[in-house]
Every structure is written in C-alpha cells, then in structure tokens.
C-alpha cells in the first residue's frame, strides 16, 4: 500500500528542523549501506552517532505519535530511529530494495527490526529543487512521489524504488522503517480500508447498528493477524 500522509510536521517543527539541518555536519550516505547499495547511492546523511540526528529524530517520532493516519496505515510495533539525508549536485539513489532486517543500537542493547513499511518525510517543498522524485515500482507500474514539505509517503519495504538525480537546489528528507504488528501488506491494506469505512460511517450515519459489527470485525482481524 502506497499512501500519502499530509501535514505530519507543523510549520514550526518544520522550520526548526530546516534551520538546524542548515548547520549540520553531513557524511557520505554510502556508509550506511552494503556493497551493492553503495554502487547506486550518492547522497549525504547525518551520521548515526550524531546527537543532532537523535534530537531531530525525537521530534519526528513525537509527530508520528499524534498522527492517527500513520498508526492506522502502518500499525507500528517498532520504529527505527529516523534518519536524515540530503541530495544535491546530481545526487541520486538508483533502484534498490531496502534491507529486510535493520539493526538498532550497539553492544548489549543491540536489537533488530524487520522492515515492513518504508517512510519518507519530505522536508523541502517541490519548488525548492529539480529532480529528486521518489520512484516506487509495484505491480501497477512506477509511481513518482514529490510531496510538500512536512508530508510523508509510506509504502511496502519490499518495493523496488529509487530517488531521481537532484539537478537544482537540495532535497532534504527524514526516512525510517517500521516493523508492523501486521507483517503482510495485503492484510494491512484490508485493515486500512475497513478502518476508513468505519470512520466514514461514523460521520455519515453515527447511529447505524452495523458500526458495532464492523468495528468488531476490524478488531477480530487485527487480533488474528497481529504479532506483538
């Protein structure tokens, strides 16, 4: 399921993040991928060890906490601490599939996360740069994504995708992965669509007796499919 979630960040949050990133120390983005990924990746990232990455990531996580659309679509069990990247001067990332298992932390606290859902939170408006489209390939073809600042796209981590070369300006984004309570993308989609239908009925016909049954079906499916 490919979904556009608008207004994840407020204008104030976005301004703080943008101003902070203007003075950031960036590193080669190839440091966080394997040999094959390094062959097609050309961008910059905040180092994983950077205190700035941790503080800005906490802002993003707080924004996600208050976003019901994100929760309903991703059904998050665990979220990899958000990362931040910059593309400019022809920077790009060729077609690739995200790694299936991500590592969180180091030493005795080290844990792993299965990547079910990939998320890109745009920090620049589309008018600020040329190129930089996120291209996601699925059974229906290739989809170009270039969203307003503060908006986010979520999509299955199993998807083949790339970032087009940025030929003017700079493209800033936060990106991260989610291990969902529901591993299967088709099951997550069914739950999302059922949730939307329940919400619409609640607005249009709030006393409709079917709402109780539909809500029960939703929770029973989630109970059947969820891994916790």
pLDDT reading at 109 higher than 90: no
106-126 mean pLDDT = 94
What pairs with residue 130 in β-bridges? 168
What is the chain's mean pLDDT, rounded? 95
Q: What pLDDT shows up at residue 31?
A: 73
In this prediction, residue 30 has a pLDDT band, given cuts at 50, 70 and 90, of confident
Task: Please tell me the predicted confidence (pLDDT) of residue 35.
Answer: 62
Residues 45 and 125 in one domain: yes
Residues 151, 220, single domain; the answer is no
- 155 and 104 within one domain: yes
Residue 139 DSSP code: T
User: Is the same domain home to 166 and 191?
Assistant: no
Flag whether pLDDT at 32 surpasses 70. no
For the stretch 193-209, pLDDT in tens is: 999 999 999 999 999 99
Same domain, 103 and 152: yes
User: Within this chain, do residues 171 and 193 fall inside the same structural domain, yes or no?
Assistant: no
pLDDT, tens digit, for every residue of 4-28?
999 999 999 999 999 999 989 999 9
Pair 201, 142 in one domain:
no
| Domains identified in the chain, total number | 2
Question: Domain check: are 107 and 197 in the same one?
Answer: no
C-alpha to C-alpha distance for 95 and 136, rounded to whole angstroms: 9
Q: Can you give the CATH number for the domain in which 198 is found?
A: 4.10.860
Residue 38, H or E segment: helix 35-38
CATH (domain of 140): 2.60.120.620
Res 215: pLDDT: 97
Q: Are residues 195 and 104 in the same domain?
A: no
Give the per-residue pLDDT at 106: 81
Q: Which helix (H) or strand (E) holds 59?
A: helix 51-65
Q: Are residues 19 and 130 in the same domain?
A: yes
Q: What is the pLDDT of residue 29?
A: 84
Neighbours of 131 (CB within 10 A): 18
Is 139 in the same domain as 203? Answer: no
- The three-point CA angle 81-32-150 to 5° equals 45
Note whether 122 and 63 are same-domain residues: yes
Q: How confident is the model at residue 214 (pLDDT cuts 50, 70, 90)?
A: very high
Reported as a pLDDT band with limits 50, 70 and 90, residue 34 is low
Listed in sequence order, the residues at least 6 apart from 58 whose beta carbon sits closer than 8 Å to its beta carbon are none
User: Which pLDDT score, from 0 to 100, does residue 33 have?
Assistant: 63
Two tokens at 144? 């170009």
Expressed as residue numbers, the domain containing 62 is 3-180
**pLDDT for res 39:** 80
Placement of tokens 């919400």 in the chain: 199
């Amino acid at each position: 399921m490919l979904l556009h979630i608008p207004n994840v960040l407020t204008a104030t949050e976005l301004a703080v993040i943008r101003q902070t990133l203007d003075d950031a120390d960036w590193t080669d983005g190839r440091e966080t991928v394997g040999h094959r990924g390094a062959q097609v990746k050309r961008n910059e990232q905040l180092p994983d060890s950077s205190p700035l990455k941790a503080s800005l990531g906490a802002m993003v996580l707080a924004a996600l906490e208050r976003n019901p659309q994100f929760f309903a679509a991703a059904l998050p069990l665990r979220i990899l601490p958000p990362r931040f990247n910059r593309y400019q001067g022809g920077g790009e990332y060729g077609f690739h599939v995200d790694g299936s298992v991500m590592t969180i932390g180091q030493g005795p606290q080290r844990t792993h996360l299965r990547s079910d859902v990939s998320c890109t939170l745009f920090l620049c408006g589309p008018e600020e740069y040329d190129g930089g489209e996120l291209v996601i390939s699925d059974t229906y073809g290739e989809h170009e994504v270039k969203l307003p600042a503060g908006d986010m796209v979520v999509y299955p981590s199993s998807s083949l995708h790339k970032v087009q070369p940025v030929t003017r300006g700079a493209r800033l984004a936060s990106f991260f992965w989610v291990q969902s309570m529901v591993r299967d993308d088709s099951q997550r989609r069914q739950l999302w669509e059922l949730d939307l239908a329940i919400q619409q009925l609640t607005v249009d016909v709030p006393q409709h007796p079917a709402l109780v049954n539909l809500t029960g079906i939703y929770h029973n499916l989630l109970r059947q499919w969820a891994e916790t």
